[in-house]
Amino acid sequence: MEKVILGHSGNLVLDVDTADRDHRGTIEYLTVEADLPSLQARLRVYEHNGFSGLPSFFETLESHWRGWDGETRYASLEGDFQLAARHDGHIRLSFELNDFLGSIPWKAAGKLTLDPGEELSTAVEALRQLLTAPRS
């Protein structure tokens, strides 16, 4: 299993298992785990295009590391994993996990912080490697 850990004072962990890739090496499933002091949640998220929008989302944050107005958003294909980022000197990352397909639907939401310098750059590179490099 490969993973990327985002944030401090709480984490969002993105996991990919070898079985989560199709025959071409494209990721079809991503397991997202929230680990905050008052919240723990885990959801397996599907996306047929290899989650190409997720690295782009973080690359946009990185290219505007000094700040931006308003909110920048990402949503998975089915909307079960959503991110929203604001900048106030730090990057405030809000997330939602929605399991509306289970026998008992649930929703979890939380916030974590990323530093806009090295921490963000490290996260962007780790996501690129996790989500774009085919594995054998």
CATH code for the domain in which residue 48 is found: 2.30.31
Domain carrying residue 15: 2-132
Please state, in angstroms and rounded to a whole number, the distance separating the CA atoms of residues 16 and 2. 5
What pLDDT score was predicted for residue 14?
93
The phi, psi pair for 101, rounded to 5°, reads -100, -15
Burial 76-108 (b: 16+ CB within 10 A, else e): beeebbebbbbbeeebebebbbbbeeeeeeeeb
What pLDDT score was predicted for residue 89?
92
Please state, in angstroms and rounded to a whole number, the distance separating the CA atoms of residues 32 and 46. 11
Quote the pTM value: 0.90
Contact status, residue 93 vs residue 112, Cβ threshold 8 Å = yes
Contact status, residue 74 vs residue 93, Cβ threshold 8 Å = no
Please state, in angstroms and rounded to a whole number, the distance separating the CA atoms of residues 132 and 7. 21
What pLDDT score was predicted for residue 133?
54
Query: Average pLDDT for consecutive 10-residue bins of the chain (136 residues)?
Result: 84 85 84 94 90 92 91 94 95 96 93 92 90 61
The DSSP output letter for 122 is H
- Max alpha carbon distance in the chain (Å)? 44
Pairing outcome for strands 91-99 and 29-36: unpaired
Q: How many domains does the chain have?
A: 1
What pLDDT score was predicted for residue 17?
80
